[in-house]
Structure 1
Amino acid sequence: MIKAQVRFDRDFIIGETDKRLFGAFIEHLGRCVYGGIFEPGHPTADGKGFRRDVLELVRELNPTIMRYPGGNFVSGYNWEDGVGPIEQRPRRLDLAWKSVDTNHFGTNEFMDWCRAADIEPMLAVNLGTRGPDEARHLLEYCNHPSGTHLSDLRRKHGWETPHDIKFWCLGNEMDGGWQMGAKTAEEYGRIATETAKMMRMTDPTIELAACGSSGRKMATYGEWERIVLEHTFDHVEFISLHTYLNNYADDTPSFLASPDLMDSFIDEVVAIADAVAARRRSRKRIMLSFDEWNVWYRTRRGEHNRVKEGWPVAPPILEEEYNMQDALAFGGACISLLNHADRVKAGCLAQLVNAIAPIMTETGGPAWRQTIFWPFSDFSNLGRGRVLRTNVDTPTYSTRYYDPTHTEDLYDKIDPVPYLKFSAVHSEADKTVTLFILNRHLSDDMQIDIAATGFGNLGLQRAHTLHHEELKASNTKNNPDKIAPRTLQGVEALSSRTTVTVPPASWNVVRFNAAA
């Protein structure tokens, strides 16, 4: 058994978690929409074609904001194709994912689905093949009450009440050569600024996110953020970050260390954004929108894994089958986001259903939870509140993380890596303290001595663990509950001091009642 110590106080906080931190992402990609959230004719489909079995799992997962319609897809998307009578909507080639989109599901259907799921919408505009004019037209269509061509067109289409969408993304991954209409930082900074100006003239109540780097290993990383923010600083509230954790080298210790690179990514982008503010002598602080993050590597290798020949409709692509160790790395990413709650104010798990997703479906058949469903559900349902500053004393290890997207050196040294990755969240509303605990040691239990001050007596409310002896075990249609949380027994709560013992290679959540 290895031992660790944690100290925290109710008066020392990192920041309050924003409701939007617990979001997810729906893209016209594979079976995420068609056969995922939307399948008319499915035995559970409602009158609008929404799969009610999926909706039940989404409500359990409890995401708070949903990004749509992309992703790479949005950079070639004409929003007008997805509104109006379904039988009149055009079928289009989707160049991003080499498929045909029927446009049977569009903006209004997405809004209806968000209302059914009680989720705030986040819309991205196309700044790849289109520009400011089309963006402000979409905003007018969605948010203007009536009395103009586009607002009245929405009403004619059957949605009389404005959608009142507040959060908008100015394009997607515009620094990426794979992107339709990819741009330099200067080109993107200019078009994003003009788009933001026109959109805010149309509706001054909206909030806007500029595109940051598509990944920390982009050759333009850092300079991209600086140049884009020099242009857009006065017009946006957020800059985006994207990260996908991988295990290409089949190296579990390194894989479980990889969420720590998210911490570095966040810290660096915060520093760049604040440097731009300092040059302006501005007190404004740009917040971060981590609007794509997940584990993704099996279906990322080679174009044959990402697309199907023959321009199919809703092909089964990017359908990652997540195992136990994927859930552990994923849980580490949740902790990284919590521990930056002061600046990461929005986040979107990419994606929601089927394509690199916590929820899987069979078209015409059942839906089930993947292993990563569980840590996200904990994160979203139990992570609301004030994230506390913690002092963590834990044994460490050294490793090198394989990243094939880095051309100069395929390995990042991550040293030292704490075996314990930890976050504590205090909810004054619920009068609870919730501990999120990742034990990255592969063979040893961990005993954690926890001293919490300022709360009085902490009474155990619940404790569970996600652990399996076989790290490559996964949930499937035929065995959907192989990986699932079970009660964590090793919790001894004595006044303000607590001992928690957790299994090796485990994700754990312990919640206390905190009356004080």
Structure 2
Amino acid sequence: MVWSVLLMAQMATQDFVDNFEGRSLQTRWEWRAPVAGPTYALADGSLTVEVPARRGGYNHWAGVADAPMLRTPCPVGDWAMEATLQLLNTPPDAEFHAGLAVGFSENRLILWGPFQSRRFAGKPTPELWLERTGEARLATAPLNAPRVELRVAKQGGRYTFFTRARDADGWQAVSTLYSLIPPRFVGIVGKTFAEGESQPIRFAVERFALQTLPASPAGQEAVIRIDARAPEATVSPLLFGHFIEHMGQCIQGGLWAELLTNRKFAGEVLPDGAIEGWRKIGDARLRGEHRIVYTGGQAQRIEVQGARGGVAQAGIPVQAGRAYQARVVVYPEGVSAVQVSFGDATHRWEGLQAGQWHTLTAELTPARGEPAGAFRIEAEGQGALIVGCASLMPADNLHGWRRDVVETLRQTPIPILRWPGGNFVSGYDWREGVGVRDQRPPRWNRAWGGWEMNDVGTDEFIQLCRLINAEPYICLNAGEGAPRMAQEWVEYCNGGADTPMGRLRAENGHPEPYRVRYWGTGNEMYGDWQLGRLDAVKYALKANELARAIRAVDPDALRIAVGVDADEWGQWNRKVLRVAGENHEYLSVHFYQGCPHPKDSPEAYETVVLGAKRVEWILRRTAEIIREEMPDNPPLIAFDEWNTWYPEANGESQYRQVAPLYDGIFAAGVFHALIRNAETVGMANLAQLVNVLPALLVSPTQVVETPTWLAFRMYAPYFAGQRLRVSLPESLEEQVDAVAVRIGERIHIGLINYSLTETVRVRIEIAGATLQQTELIRLHAEPFHAMNTFEQPNRVQLQRELQRWQTEWELPPHSVTVMLGL
């Protein structure tokens, strides 16, 4: 055993070429087929791998590692591997990926080579595809022949991926990835996947070579140089924006102060006669009322025969001594009294006139607290009570918004806020979200599920923007909506009180125009999850109609078209720009960093934090495409949805996830990418602000700041300035990132140490300026996956201290450091 380990270690230090001319594999190879079926054969100077048919295929992805591999230990240090692959059998309905693999563990690979999938790529022919386990399509390149040469070069933690069609051609670099974890093996992988029975595939490897490369430059000084003499670009404050959507508990159950769910009695009538979200209490007969209704298509009917009974909603925290505003809209038919209560606080009305609607309000202040109290609506006497809607809010709400949440938001600049979607907007009729709040109809949220009460509409959104001093950004319905609906919405917001929609706004209590400047012409119209999905050209034509409708009302409005990341979705960006580019000032891009690994694993840390480098590549490539298509007047990029998205954030969890420390590091990395691309990126919006992939975790009684929000607190107030040139030695680029801005006479520096375990000591040299003092703000905690939760809300905190300026600094592992020049 010891001899075998020593032999493998020795082999790993040697260059290696295999033309597969023998009858058996060289001893350094290991054929690994975790599940029986895949085979290899040596003949005629090549190795042929065959992966047979199997239900689900032989895959290597998050949670599965069945794919066959031919692998060998990789050298220590820097190296390059090359292989020549020949596809032998690729039926149009086959789904496979084969090529060069770099293995970091049994469950984590980088794979570079031919890929085919009608389901995922949308075409039945192979292309070159780069992926990391759990992260698909990191880069692509055309595959013009079944034979291809591939190369992967490792230098430090940087991996560069090349291709060429034949030996005589030069290598073409396609993409670069970084890794913070050392590789364990390299080799060849062939994997298949399918919803049903996979198709068999065969491919041949004609040559494989593995060679060591000269070591990366060593001994370079870890010097970060900042040139304060000539700023490079202006960093817009809009790069630190946010997004809210009618999804999960972002608005209802988060930002909005309403404590009741299904307060307008929509949905299913349960066996006891109560409507979903409510339960029967006391001596009453319940049923859904469909003849006399206040809003929507249904009300709750309560019938009593000389006793007291009604409905209740349980599970609501009761805070002792806190005042709550209760409101019910009821239609009495003979009952003698109506009573509402919350906890031990009660209010009662008697002598209500029968046969008409009454809006009843009361302030309830419970004396005793309860972790899961109930709000009750009861009728007394002989007869019936129809309840059209009900409401319960803390009395200190700000125009319906949670005071504690708003006060938290005010602590950090929110320069722009996008609303109402997101996927939600493609089925949203804005007209149902204005007017008397209690009379707005409830609607089923077809994008995300659940009943939408329409309590938060245009007027409420504008009110929130004013409370937190944010620029409003409204996304129009390009799915099921029509241009006229869009034009009327713009007129409602920006038209004078003498216009039809401006008059409606004035009647709703808002005579002055809202002057909304930013309007999106749809959301993710390329996706099959989108209501009213369109292909690129059809979308672009509709976007032109929406764009003209916007300008017909407001000639100064700024319009954001639906875009994608780089060249994805069948060159969507090019097609949209050619048709609709001249009618838009921005092109939107969305990005969510997934993670298939356990949150406490180094693989999860690496996957997430290095996602920021992927973001930067996407932004640069998208900007290149925009310039190629519209060189004279290129639209800016609106990076108006970005975040991490963990498997736990699904419908059952209301899309809620708890962010580890490294989400804050990822966010800081995204800020650095945005700052470096400030010439081409005009705005960015984290998705979302509260509870859904949240910056803030909110319960009925708590507001918890996640590491992502802490990163916003570090950058949003300080980095909207003049970007300065920053240079780092190559030896630092893989693990340290740095940006700097100048605001007046002050210079602010942002530093990230991506290394999981190593402290980095750097020297900072500034040309053209001298700092005397700095306020140091640091995001760091142990372990690297520490989280803020409702139970431990302050486990990750910002550390702040005032220091005299010095040139040498230590950056702790997995940390973000901001230095504010004073």
TM-score scaled by structure 2?
0.55
CA drift at 1:464: 2.1
Instruction: Show the 5 A alignment for 1:94-109.
Output: 94-109=445-460
Q: 1:230 aligns with which of 556, 568, 578?
A: 578
1:209 is aligned to: 560
Using a 3 Å threshold, how does the CA distance of structure 1 residues 503 and 234 change in structure 2: closer, same or farther?
Answer: same
2:469 is aligned to: 118
1:188 is aligned to: 539
RCO (CA 8 Å, sep 6+): is it higher in 1 or 2?
Answer: 1
1:432 is aligned to: 746
1:358 is aligned to: 695
Q: 2:654 aligns with which of 317, 321, 325?
A: 317
Contact kept, 8 Å, 2:476 with 2:486, in 1: the verdict is yes
Cα root mean square deviation, aligned:
1.9
1:330 is aligned to: 667
Using a 3 Å threshold, how does the CA distance of structure 1 residues 454 and 80 change in structure 2: closer, same or farther?
Answer: same
Q: For this pair of structures, how many residues does the alignment match?
A: 466
Please give the alpha-carbon distance, in whole angstroms, between the structure 2 residues aligned to 1:483 and 1:42.
31
1:274 is aligned to: 627
Give secondary structure in 1 for the equivalent of 2:532.
coil
Contact kept, 8 Å, 1:142 with 1:154, in 2: the verdict is yes
Please give the alpha-carbon distance, in whole angstroms, between the structure 2 residues aligned to 1:441 and 1:3.
18
1:500 aligned partner, one-letter code: W
1:10 is aligned to: 228
Please give the alpha-carbon distance, in whole angstroms, between the structure 2 residues aligned to 1:286 and 1:125.
19
Q: 2:241 aligns with which of 23, 28, 33?
A: 23
Q: 1:387 aligns with which of 723, 727, 747?
A: 723
Give ranges in structure 2 of 5+ residues lacking alignment.
1-218, 259-391
Instruction: Show the 5 A alignment for 1:442-481.
Output: 442-455=756-769, 457-481=770-794
Give secondary structure in 1 for the equivalent of 2:618.
helix
Please give the alpha-carbon distance, in whole angstroms, between the structure 2 residues aligned to 1:510 and 1:471.
22
Give secondary structure in 1 for the equivalent of 2:630.
helix
2:642 aligned partner, one-letter code: W
CA drift at 1:492: 6.8
Contact kept, 8 Å, 2:547 with 2:584, in 1: the verdict is yes
Deviations 1:77-100 (A, max 9, x none): 000110011122111111110111
Instruction: Show the 5 A alignment for 1:415-426.
Output: 418-426=734-742
Deviations 1:243-291 (A, max 9, x none): 112222351223321111111111111111111123xxx2x23111110
Q: Does residue 49 of structure 1 match 2:400?
A: yes
Instruction: Show the 5 A alignment for 1:115-194.
Output: 115-194=466-545
Contact kept, 8 Å, 2:257 with 2:394, in 1: the verdict is no
Please give the alpha-carbon distance, in whole angstroms, between the structure 1 residues aligned to 2:726 and 2:788.
34
Point out the structure with the larger helix share. Answer: 1
Deviations 1:289-341 (A, max 9, x none): 110111222335xxxx22x5xxxxxxx51111011122212221111111111
Please give the alpha-carbon distance, in whole angstroms, between the structure 2 residues aligned to 1:440 and 1:118.
33
Give secondary structure in 1 for the equivalent of 2:251.
coil
Using a 3 Å threshold, how does the CA distance of structure 1 residues 479 and 157 change in structure 2: closer, same or farther?
Answer: same
1:463 aligned partner, one-letter code: L
Using a 3 Å threshold, how does the CA distance of structure 1 residues 44 and 9 change in structure 2: closer, same or farther?
Answer: farther
Contact kept, 8 Å, 1:319 with 1:356, in 2: the verdict is yes
Please give the alpha-carbon distance, in whole angstroms, between the structure 1 residues aligned to 2:503 and 2:742.
46
1:409 is aligned to: none
1:412 is aligned to: none
Deviations 1:400-444 (A, max 9, x none): xxxxxxxxxxxxxxxxx610011111112xx21111111011111
1:292 is aligned to: 641
Please give the alpha-carbon distance, in whole angstroms, between the structure 1 residues aligned to 2:457 and 2:648.
26
Contact kept, 8 Å, 1:246 with 1:295, in 2: the verdict is yes
Give ranges in structure 1 of 5+ residues lacking alignment.
309-315, 397-416
CA drift at 1:349: 0.8
Contact kept, 8 Å, 1:9 with 1:453, in 2: the verdict is yes
CA drift at 1:217: 8.2
2:703 is aligned to: 367
Give secondary structure in 2 for the equivalent of 1:469.
coil
Give secondary structure in 1 for the equivalent of 2:626.
helix
Give secondary structure in 1 for the equivalent of 2:526.
coil
Contact kept, 8 Å, 2:778 with 2:815, in 1: the verdict is yes
Give secondary structure in 2 for the equivalent of 1:150.
helix
CA drift at 1:36: 1.4
Larger Rg: 2
Please give the alpha-carbon distance, in whole angstroms, between the structure 2 residues aligned to 1:447 and 1:236.
46
Give secondary structure in 1 for the equivalent of 2:778.
strand
Please give the alpha-carbon distance, in whole angstroms, between the structure 2 residues aligned to 1:263 and 1:137.
38
Contact kept, 8 Å, 1:492 with 1:500, in 2: the verdict is no
1:240 is aligned to: 588
Please give the alpha-carbon distance, in whole angstroms, between the structure 2 residues aligned to 1:3 and 1:327.
28
Contact kept, 8 Å, 1:39 with 1:45, in 2: the verdict is no
2:77 is aligned to: none
CA drift at 1:488: 6.3
Using a 3 Å threshold, how does the CA distance of structure 1 residues 216 and 255 change in structure 2: closer, same or farther?
Answer: farther
CA drift at 1:49: 1.6
Q: 1:504 aligns with which of 790, 813, 816?
A: 813
1:312 is aligned to: none
Deviations 1:469-508 (A, max 9, x none): 212211111221110011469x7735xxx22211011111
Please give the alpha-carbon distance, in whole angstroms, between the structure 1 residues aligned to 2:253 and 2:723.
37
Please give the alpha-carbon distance, in whole angstroms, between the structure 2 residues aligned to 1:219 and 1:233.
17
CA drift at 1:3: 6.4
CA drift at 1:2: 10
Using a 3 Å threshold, how does the CA distance of structure 1 residues 2 and 298 change in structure 2: closer, same or farther?
Answer: farther
Please give the alpha-carbon distance, in whole angstroms, between the structure 1 residues aligned to 2:647 and 2:667.
15
Q: Does residue 341 of structure 1 match 2:678?
A: yes
Contact kept, 8 Å, 1:5 with 1:394, in 2: the verdict is no
Give secondary structure in 2 for the equivalent of 1:61.
coil
Q: Please, which moves more after superposition, 166-175 or 326-335?
A: 326-335
Please give the alpha-carbon distance, in whole angstroms, between the structure 1 residues aligned to 2:562 and 2:757.
41
1:401 is aligned to: none
Please give the alpha-carbon distance, in whole angstroms, between the structure 2 residues aligned to 1:44 and 1:486.
35
TM-score scaled by structure 1?
0.87
Contact kept, 8 Å, 1:388 with 1:426, in 2: the verdict is yes
Give secondary structure in 2 for the equivalent of 1:178.
coil
Using a 3 Å threshold, how does the CA distance of structure 1 residues 233 and 217 change in structure 2: closer, same or farther?
Answer: closer
Please give the alpha-carbon distance, in whole angstroms, between the structure 1 residues aligned to 2:516 and 2:804.
47
Please give the alpha-carbon distance, in whole angstroms, between the structure 1 residues aligned to 2:723 and 2:522.
31
Question: Between the two proteins, what is the percent identity of the paired residues?
Answer: 29
2:569 is aligned to: 219
Q: Please, which moves more after superposition, 333-342 or 34-43?
A: 34-43
Please give the alpha-carbon distance, in whole angstroms, between the structure 1 residues aligned to 2:439 and 2:607.
51
Using a 3 Å threshold, how does the CA distance of structure 1 residues 105 and 39 change in structure 2: closer, same or farther?
Answer: same
Please give the alpha-carbon distance, in whole angstroms, between the structure 2 residues aligned to 1:60 and 1:3.
39
Please give the alpha-carbon distance, in whole angstroms, between the structure 2 residues aligned to 1:72 and 1:445.
43
CA drift at 1:202: 1.4
